């Protein structure tokens, strides 16, 4: 069982470049989310989705776009990368119940020069 | 703001000893869920233990247990018989139930070192 997968594992970008971080889950979870992890700040929610076609902003959404065309996939797009977006990015998924545990992907380490 | 606070940036423990990691949170909700996640150097976020706020009984998972004090909004993690493999960052998190959005709010983490 693959669980939550993320690609790539590492990425280096130049300021102004765009890219998409991929996230996929094979557990038929309705809820998917993106977090970023910065030193001393824990994980902060960027965007989330409660089902295909439905997305909403989290705590730190600026500079990021998401879409949810299928239940399985939830890509995160950086339209014009900035050094402030250097971080480790985690995707997570769960069933749409407060009782359920969120399962995390292995993370993507992004560096913006 | 609905926050989660981990006041211990770093902790250390001798192998086979017991250590307690602290966590406090702020919420106006009566029904919510609390979690401890472990993040080893591999970066993978691993669920350690979870607690439902409506349950009086403290959750236990093998060597891991919590001390949940709802009135004090405290949720500490006790690791018994510490092992070298327990060395990691530990994050406390609360799952918000407002608007059914299922957001996880994390603390800033505690780095646990385990000495042989």
Residue B100: the pLDDT is 56
Among B91, B95, B100, the residue with its CB nearest the CB of A42 is B91
* pLDDT higher than threshold 60 for residue A102: yes
Minimum Cα–Cα distance from B108: chain A residue: A42
What is the pLDDT, as a whole number, of residue B2? 67
A1-17 mean pLDDT = 93
The yes-or-no verdict on residue A111 having pLDDT over 60 is yes
Per-residue confidence band for A99, with pLDDT thresholds at 50, 70 and 90:
low
What is the spatial distance between Cα B96 and Cα A51, in angstroms, rounded to a whole number? 18
Q: Is the pLDDT of residue A10 over 90?
A: yes
Which has the higher per-residue pLDDT, A1 or A30? A30
Confidence of residue B98 (pLDDT cuts 50, 70, 90): low
Rounded Cα distance between B18 and B78, Å, is 7
d(CA A113, CA A83): 6
Q: What is the pLDDT of residue B19?
A: 98
Say whether pLDDT at B27 is over 90: no
Distance CA B58, CA B73 (A): 14
Question: Read out DSSP for chain A?
Answer: ---EEEE-SEEEE-TT--EEEEEEESS--SEEEEEEE-TTS-EEEEEEEEETTEEEE-SS-TTEEE--SSSSB--EEESS--GGG-EEEEEEEE-SSTTSPPEE---EEEEE-
Record: contact A40-B97, CB cut-off 8 A: no
> How many CB atoms within 10 Å of residue B111?
14
Tokens of B26: 């702020």
The radius of gyration computed from the CA coordinates of chain A, to the nearest angstrom, equals 13
Of A108, A75, A72, the residue nearest A90 (C-alpha): A108
Name which of A31, A99, A106 is nearest B43 (Cβ-Cβ).
A106
Q: How many percent of chain B have pLDDT more than 70? A: 93
Strands (E), chain B: 4-5, 10-14, 19-21, 24-25, 33-39, 46-52, 60-61, 64-69, 74-79, 88-95, 104-106, 110-115
pLDDT (mean) for A5-12 = 96
Task: Give the pLDDT of residue B6.
Answer: 96
Closest by CA position to B81, among listed B11, B15, B8, B10: B15
| Pairing assessment for the beta strands B10-14 and B110-115 based on DSSP bridges | parallel
Could you tell me the two tokens for A6? 């993320």
* Sequence-separated (6 or more) residues with CB below 8 Å from residue B113: B10, B11, B12, B13, B87
| pLDDT recorded at residue B29 | 81
The predicted structure's pLDDT at residue A98:
57
Q: Which residue has the tokens 């009782």?
A: A99
Question: Which chain A residues are closer than 8 Å to B37 by Cβ?
Answer: 104
pLDDT in tens, A30-68: 999 999 999 877 899 999 998 999 999 998 999 999 999
Check CB contact of A56 with chain B, cutoff 8 Å.
yes
A50 Cβ under 8 Å from any chain B Cβ: yes
For chain A, say whether B16 makes contact (Cβ under 8 Å).
no
Q: Do B91 and A56 touch (CB under 8 A)?
A: no
pLDDT digits (tens, 9 = 90+) for B36-84: 999 998 888 999 999 988 888 999 999 999 999 999 999 999 999 999 9
Helix (H) or strand (E) holding B18: none
pLDDT of residue B67: 96
pLDDT value of position B56: 83
Residue B99 has pLDDT above 80, yes or no: no
Answer yes or no: is pLDDT of B102 > 80: no
């Amino acid at each position: 069982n693959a669980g939550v997968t993320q690609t790539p594992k590492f990425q280096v970008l130049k300021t102004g470049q765009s890219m998409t971080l991929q996230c996929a889950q094979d557990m038929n979870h309705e809820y998917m989310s993106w977090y970023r992890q910065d030193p001393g700040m824990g994980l902060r929610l960027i965007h989330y989705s409660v089902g295909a076609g439905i997305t909403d902003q989290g705590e730190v959404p600026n500079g990021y776009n998401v879409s949810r065309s299928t239940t399985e996939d939830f890509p995160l797009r950086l339209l014009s990368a900035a050094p402030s977006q250097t971080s480790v990015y985690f995707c997570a998924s769960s069933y749409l119940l407060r009782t359920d545990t969120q399962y995390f992907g292995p993370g993507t380490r992004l560096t913006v020069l | 703001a609905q926050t989660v606070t981990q006041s211990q940036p770093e902790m250390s423990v001798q192998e086979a000893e017991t250590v307690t990691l602290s966590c406090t949170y702020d919420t106006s909700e009566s029904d919510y869920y609390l979690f401890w996640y472990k993040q080893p150097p591999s970066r993978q976020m691993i669920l350690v233990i979870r607690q439902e706020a409506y349950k009086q009984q403290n959750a236990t998972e093998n060597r891991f247990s919590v001390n949940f004090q709802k009135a004090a909004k405290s949720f500490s993690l006790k690791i018994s018989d510490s092992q070298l493999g327990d060395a990691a960052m530990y994050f406390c998190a609360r799952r918000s139930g407002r608007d059914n959005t299922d957001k996880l709010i994390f603390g800033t983490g505690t780095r646990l070192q385990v000495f042989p």
